[in-house]
């Protein structure tokens, strides 16, 4: 666990994932070092060994460290319930703006300005509470939106790319492949094991 991220207590998280506690769904994500996949605490896949797991407060934090989303528990469908949710904190306000696609149009500097903080301060807050930069969070939001559309609709790829906030189909394909190590079309066909 990275010391700079605000404390997710290892023992609490470890006990919660071993009993697949739904109360922690969305509160933390489990990054599995042996497979480089990350999961929700409620994942039905056999629990990995304790020495192979790390806990992070967001999907974006796992992705920033090179872990890819589990196709079975589908982290993109986890409830949005991080510890700072519902507060009036800068991070919570920033997350709301990112959800609305703020970084599709603004730079991180302009986003910080809108929030009334400096860009470096915003970066520090994100590192501490979310475990990832605002840019990674925005990217994760786009990919997650695309993944949900892939699973839940028959929309053509260009439409999915556009609705998810990507500027081009090529960019969508590249970012999706970087996240899932598979093309969008492969993930759409894939059934969970």
Name the residue nearer to Zn ion (CB basis): 156 or 192: 192
162 Cβ contact partners less than 8 Å away, ≥ 6 residues apart: none
Rounded to 5 degrees, φ, ψ at 39 are -135, 165
Name the residue nearer to Zn ion (CB basis): 44 or 170: 44
Name the residue nearer to Zn ion (CB basis): 47 or 85: 47
5, 30, 39, 111: the catalytic one is: 39
Sheet holding 53-56, edge to edge: 53-56, 29-32, 37-39, 68-69
What's the rounded Cα separation, in Å, for the pair 188 and 75? 16
Distances (CA, A) of 149 to 24, 73, 105, 161, 165: 25, 16, 22, 10, 12
Q: Is 149 near Zn ion (CB under 5 A)?
A: no
Give the range of 10-18, 44-52, 146-154, 172-180 binding Zn ion by CB under 5 A: 44-52
Residue 43 is among the residues annotated as catalytic for this protein: yes
| Per-residue interface string for the shown chain with Zn ion, residues 1-40, x marking contact by CB under 5 A | --------------------------------------x-
Residue 62 is among the residues annotated as catalytic for this protein: no
Enumerate binding residues for Zn ion (CB under 5 A): 39, 43, 45, 70, 72-73
Give the active site residues.
39, 43, 70, 73
């Amino acid at each position: 666990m990275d010391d700079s991220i605000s404390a997710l207590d290892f023992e609490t998280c470890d006990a919660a994932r071993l009993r697949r506690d739904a109360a922690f769904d969305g509160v933390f994500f489990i990054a599995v070092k042996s497979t480089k996949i990350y999961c929700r605490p409620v994942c039905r896949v056999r629990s990995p060994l304790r020495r192979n797991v790390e806990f992070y407060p967001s999907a974006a934090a796992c992705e920033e460290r090179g872990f890819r989303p589990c196709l079975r528990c589908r982290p993109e469908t986890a409830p949005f319930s991080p510890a700072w949710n519902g507060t009036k904190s800068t991070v919570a306000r920033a997350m709301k703006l990112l959800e609305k696609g703020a970084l599709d149009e603004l730079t991180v500097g302009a986003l910080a300005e809108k929030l009334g903080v400096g860009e470096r301060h915003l970066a520090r807050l994100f590192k501490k509470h979310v475990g990832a930069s605002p840019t990674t969070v925005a990217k994760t939001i786009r990919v997650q939106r695309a993944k949900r559309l892939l699973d839940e609709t028959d929309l053509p790829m260009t439409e999915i790319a556009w609705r998810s906030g990507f500027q081009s189909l090529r960019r969508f394909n590249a970012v999706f492949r970087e996240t899932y190590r598979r093309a969008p079309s492969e993930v759409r066909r894939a059934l969970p094991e």
